[in-house]
Amino acid sequence: MSRDSGPTVSFGVLGTIELRVADRPAAPLAPAVRALLARLVLAPGRVVSADALADALWGDQLPADATNALQLRVSKLRRALAGAGAGGDLLVTRAPGYQLAVAPDAVDAYRFERLLERARTAPTGDGPAALACYDEALRLWRGPALADVGDADWALAETARLAELRLGAVEDRLELLLAAGRQAEAVADLERLVVAHPLRERLHRLLMLALYRGGRQAEAITAYHALRHRLADELGIDPAPELQALAEAILRQQVPAPTPAPAPPAASPVDRAGPARIRTAPAPRASQREDLPRRLSSVVGRQNDVHRVLDRLREARVVTLTGPGGVGKTTLALEAARQVDDTLADRLHLVRLAAVPTGADLPEAVAGQLGVAAGGPGAAATAALVGWLGADRALLVVDNCEHVIDEVAELVERLVAACPALTVLTTSREALAVPGETQLSVPPLGVPDGPADLARLGDSPAVTLFVDRARAVRPGFVLDESAAPIVADICRQLDGMPLAIELAAARVKALPPVEIAARLHDRFALLTAGARTSEARHRTLRATLDWSHDLLTDAERRLLRRLAVFGGGWDLTAAERVCAFAGLATDEVLDLLFRLVDRSLVVPDPATGRFRLLVTIREYAAARLAEAGETAAARDRHLTHFTELAERYGPQVRSDADAWSRMTEEHDNFGAAVDRCLDRTDGIDAGLRLTDALFLFWNYGPRYEGIRALTALLATGGGAPAARAVALQRIGTLGVYYPTAQTRAAARESLAEFERLGDPVNTATSRLVVAWEGQYDGDPDRYRAMVVQARREMGDTDDPWWHGTVCYVEALLDLRTGDFARSAEQWRRSLDLIRQAGDRLLPAGILAHLGIALREAGRHDEAIGVLEEAAAESRRNPSPHALAFTLVQLAHTRLDRGEVDGVPAMLAEAADTARRSANPRCQAWAAWGRARIAYADGDAATATDECRRAVELLEEREFPWARRRLRSLTAELASASGRGPQADSARWPAGPATADPEHAGR
């Protein structure tokens, strides 16, 4: 199909669409012809129908005359080809469409695929040739394929296909590098690729191999666990069996080394099972130190002990390291063997006996591990070992002898007697008691003496070990001044035993050190081994969860399904209180929960000591809970626990930061508890008790949730009249800043009911709530009279919070009517009283309102200082409503002074905070601020849209002077942007206050 003569023409699609003629630079192509050329280039030498081309160019939005439009595009492409020097005759009309008359070799994508085929069919052992093909193929890429073609379906599909081929080629190339022992060249690329493709398991497998073969075994295991957790979190599945097997092999130091390619290349059949299959040859057994596993983690605090072992090995032919389980005998033996030099031995071999069952033929088992042809059990195997060891200077390390101690003693004695240059190092909980043996007791690690001084703790091997292992499971763990004494105490309580310390440090993944220390009174429950990782992956989510569930013990299943009742996270105490019933004891929950964490069914937050379930797993567990018939019992226990918790902390949220934090972290659980009350036919009383405890938390936080919950509870009917009246009062209070018809009616109904019940205190409170509404509309004098009456009804009380709240409402009424100087005085009085009451949260809101009063009184410098103090207060004692309100008022005050720097970010934070706390008033002020900035920048249209949004959010619920000012700006902007009808609709009667031309732009 290509022309017989003329300049060499080539096309590129592996990047932007490219046309090259001879050795000239790539010719520029107009956007109108790129897609057409790309579609033809991908079918070099073949006819592409007119229908297929039209579909590629326009999809289902064909022009009225598609045939003519296509012909015009073809003409443009021919002119572009001719203009580049390629000749317009390359594009040929052939029924039923068009053909690009070039050979496939002229297209980089074709050359790329041909080079891949050559690389993948290269003879086994000819790695360099295959690598050269991969390198040449990958050099053809200039960026993402079809990068400037657009997002048509055909282009996206072809881009995805080519990208997958490219990634597969990269993986194949890296596989060859690893097979050639060139892992150092591969690691950097693999680390970058796993970040770009975090769920692609082949890349993770290659990275694990590269790290392992580069002597970075711990990082290889870390890479595996990172993938395992990501798969569990995002997909709810386990890694593929191949990856699990590789991780296990890395842990056991049993990963085959790569076999160097033969030179010259051997003509052996290629293994087509996949590039991951690497042929290996058995290594010679008489080599230096192949039998010793590489160290996976640091050896802490044992250097002096290592020297002691080496000294004993120079003096005795049999050395036995003894000590209790968990003291670190194996670790010490292996580390000492790694430091053996040629003055001690020429050969090193390791035999692990932990898996050898009692009663097995020990000589035959040892021969099997060492790869020695035994020729039979017993004496025959012993003879084979003697012959294999011979007269060489060898060190034989025999680990975990205690369960076959007699058989080991007999074999070691015979080997030492028959092999004059053999030395044996064993580990056991008791000595072998053979002639010539030296016993070396392995001590625990040193622990801190006396008070734990941070500067001195680095000298303690036990503390160093704890910190090292804690960082392995929680990289951000820091031994600071607060954690140091706790960690020191943990190490002391665990007697410096390395295994116990490592197990305790591992719990840092899920618990803070203070919680670990507090639970060491039951250390055998706390310091338990983790669960085995599932070894299979199933194809559906349900099957995967069933598989994981079926591997659990009955007790673990009970706990998992009962955890489904938690609305969000939970702490250990909550799990014990809620889940320990009907076959599950309280002292079992701790260990069972840790097992579920190890199985990736429960997600821990080690910084807080809290846990949570993924949504999919929670739903699965809830279904299991229903199948077991335990839903009602578990939800009732959950309700009881969180009602008691709310009653303990809820009344303290105004004055106690810890109480506020505790209530905040259990926010979702309180919602679940309310839902339980609503589900129960007799839930009204329990619900009103719970919501009574939650009221203050809702009032300073999610007010809308309180209104919704209380309204739903009252709708169920029932409840004592006084309790219902309190609920109505709370609905009115929660709605005072953004009142609705419902919240106004609730406040008035509660007032009438308390008057009927003869309750003067609550009557006064409800009357004050009704008067609070006067900040936006109504007769201010009537509301002032209600405040006076409420004060009289409350009587002689010395409660500073009540008096501070009365001043608060009076200040609002003054602010509403424009008496800004008097309002400022009232705000200062309210602030003093509220602080006397110990309220941490309300002062920020009071300061924000004081800042408004000062600003509107023309005292901008004072206003800025007060609002900045309010912002600091609202961050120090978090209250989302106060923070959002303060930020928008500070932003508007800065805009009044012509200051724009930092204001957009301030408005963005305020808007986001207001959105998350369902505060439309502050969202409106933020939109208003954005409108002012846009107007100042000359963008009247955007400013108009933002003002309209602010008007819609505020409705009529704002200070009248603020509503008037916003409406005035909206009308001004609508006129400036040519939206006359909107300008007319923006104007409305603003109430008795007069216009304020000076601030019309605010």
Q: Which of 112-126, 135-149, 219-233 has the highest mean pLDDT?
A: 135-149
Residue 979 has pLDDT above 80, yes or no: no
What tens digit of pLDDT does each residue of 569-613 get? 999 999 999 999 999 999 999 999 987 886 667 878 877 889 988
pLDDT at 299: 80
Among 445-459, 939-953, 985-999, the minimum mean pLDDT is found in 985-999
pLDDT at 540: 34
Among 155-159, 265-269, 548-552, 600-604, the minimum mean pLDDT is found in 265-269
What tens digit of pLDDT does each residue of 832-852 get? 999 999 999 899 999 999 999
pLDDT at 535: 27
Q: How far is CA 836 from CA 697, 822, 982, in A?
A: 20, 22, 49
Residue 276 has pLDDT above 70, yes or no: no
pLDDT band at 692 (very low <50, low <70, confident <90, very high): very high
Other CB atoms within 10 A of residue 287 CB: 10
pLDDT at 41: 83
Give every CB contact of residue 850 below 8 A, 6+ residues apart in sequence. 824, 827, 828, 831, 866, 870
Q: What is the pLDDT averaged over residues 917-937?
A: 91
pLDDT at 523: 58
Residue 993 has pLDDT above 60, yes or no: no
Among 223-227, 242-246, 297-301, the minimum mean pLDDT is found in 297-301
Q: What is the pLDDT averaged over residues 334-362?
A: 85
pLDDT at 538: 27
Residue 271 has pLDDT above 80, yes or no: no
**Residues comprising the chain, all counted:** 1002
pLDDT at 410: 94
pLDDT at 291: 61
Helix (H) or strand (E) holding 322: strand 318-322
Q: What does the alpha-carbon distance between residue 50 and residue 469 come to, in Å, rounded to a whole number? A: 67
Q: What is the pLDDT averaged over residues 90-101?
A: 83
The angle at the Cα of 168, spanning 167 to 173, to the nearest 5 degrees, equals: 100
Residue 869 has pLDDT above 60, yes or no: yes
Residue 996 has pLDDT above 50, yes or no: no
pLDDT band at 322 (very low <50, low <70, confident <90, very high): confident
What tens digit of pLDDT does each residue of 876-910 get? 888 888 999 999 999 999 999 999 999 999 999 99
pLDDT band at 270 (very low <50, low <70, confident <90, very high): very low
Q: What does the alpha-carbon distance between residue 116 and residue 103 come to, in Å, rounded to a whole number? A: 18
Phi, psi of 303 (to 5 degrees): -65, -40
Q: What does the alpha-carbon distance between residue 447 and residue 421 come to, in Å, rounded to a whole number? A: 40
Long-range contacts of 659-668 (CB under 8 A, 24+ apart): 660/697, 660/700, 660/840, 660/841, 660/877, 660/878, 663/694, 663/697, 664/697, 664/701, 665/569, 665/608, 665/610, 666/568, 666/642, 667/568, 667/701, 667/702, 668/566, 668/567, 668/568, 668/569
pLDDT at 650: 94
**Who has greater pLDDT, 453 or 43?**
43
Which string of DSSP letters, residue by residue, matches 926-978?
Answer: HHHHHHHHHHHTT-HHHHHHHHHHHHHHHTT-S-HHHHHHHHHHHHHHHHHTT
Structure tokens at 313: 């090995």
Other CB atoms within 10 A of residue 219 CB: 18
Is residue 149 within 8 A of residue 35, CB to CB? The reply is yes
Among 12-21, 295-304, 582-591, the minimum mean pLDDT is found in 295-304
What tens digit of pLDDT does each residue of 770-782 get? 999 878 888 899 9
Output the average pLDDT for the chain: 83
pLDDT at 125: 65
Q: What is the pLDDT averaged over residues 407-419?
A: 93
What is the percent of the chain where pLDDT is above 70? 88
Q: What does the alpha-carbon distance between residue 151 and residue 117 come to, in Å, rounded to a whole number? A: 29
pLDDT band at 450 (very low <50, low <70, confident <90, very high): low
**Who has greater pLDDT, 957 or 562?**
562
Q: Which of 171-175, 638-642, 916-920 has the highest mean pLDDT?
A: 638-642
Alpha helices in 666-740 (DSSP H): 667-679, 684-700, 703-715, 721-734
pLDDT at 526: 67
pLDDT band at 266 (very low <50, low <70, confident <90, very high): very low
Residue 289 has pLDDT above 60, yes or no: no
pLDDT at 341: 85
Q: Which of 938, 998, 926, 937 is nearest to 968 (CA)?
A: 998
pLDDT at 238: 81
Q: What does the alpha-carbon distance between residue 323 and residue 305 come to, in Å, rounded to a whole number? A: 13
What tens digit of pLDDT does each residue of 488-515 get? 888 887 778 787 788 788 888 878 888 8
pLDDT at 251: 72
Residue 854 has pLDDT above 70, yes or no: yes
Q: What is the pLDDT averaged over residues 866-873?
A: 93
The secondary structure of residue 497, as a DSSP letter, is -
